[in-house]
Amino acid sequence: MPNLIHHPAHSPSLVRSVEARFIGFDHTWVRVRWKVLGAANLVVPAFSGKGRADELWKTTCFELFLQAPGEAGYAEINLSPSERWNVYDFTGRREGMSERPMPREPDCAMRQGTDMAIFDAAIPAAGLPPYPWRCGMSAVIEEGGAKSYWALAHGDASAPDFHDPACFTHEVAAPGAP
């Protein structure tokens, strides 16, 4: 499971690590898991009914960025423990944002113990850009009002920006490809 790193300008309180990985994908579903260790003070948004919502990043949420190699455009997937979600298309870095049509809603579930939280998401593959992808995996973690920003990499040390192409470091091939 790849370890995410927190942005140096926003240290976590108790969270020790955040990991993210693809746990399965085929031509119908893409399944992703985030694991948070040190989750005793994790702020978890209450269930608010499935559906699209904006500004999920204002509290604990989990994100994917999918970009075709050599392309400027990319898709951003926001997933909340509240089961709210959204998917956006961008034509370039933070440019040309529009909601991406989805054939159905992603399925999300959060399990939390005293020290660990697991967030699983199943995203309809038909609503995502075609494979292969350069992928950014990230998380906003809120602990009692403090926020930390976790990603595979951070391009700018002064402020977190998950849209920075330097964060898109994970390569994902088409299902069944070597």
| Structure confidence by residue, pLDDT tens digits, 21-71 | 999 988 899 999 999 999 999 999 988 889 999 999 999 999 999 999 999
Domains annotated on the chain, with CATH: 3-172 (2.60.40.1190)
Percent of the chain with pLDDT over 90: 85
Tokens 């999300």 -> residue: 108
Percent of the chain with pLDDT over 70: 97
In residues, how long is the chain? 178
Q: What is the pLDDT of residues 152-173, one digit of tens each?
A: 999 877 899 999 999 999 999 8
**Would you say 62 and 56 are in contact if contact means Cβ atoms under 8 Å apart?**
no
Q: What is the pLDDT of residues 129-144, one digit of tens each?
A: 988 999 999 999 999 8
Cα–Cα distance measured from residue 100 to residue 58, given in angstroms and rounded to the nearest whole number = 21
pTM for the model: 0.94
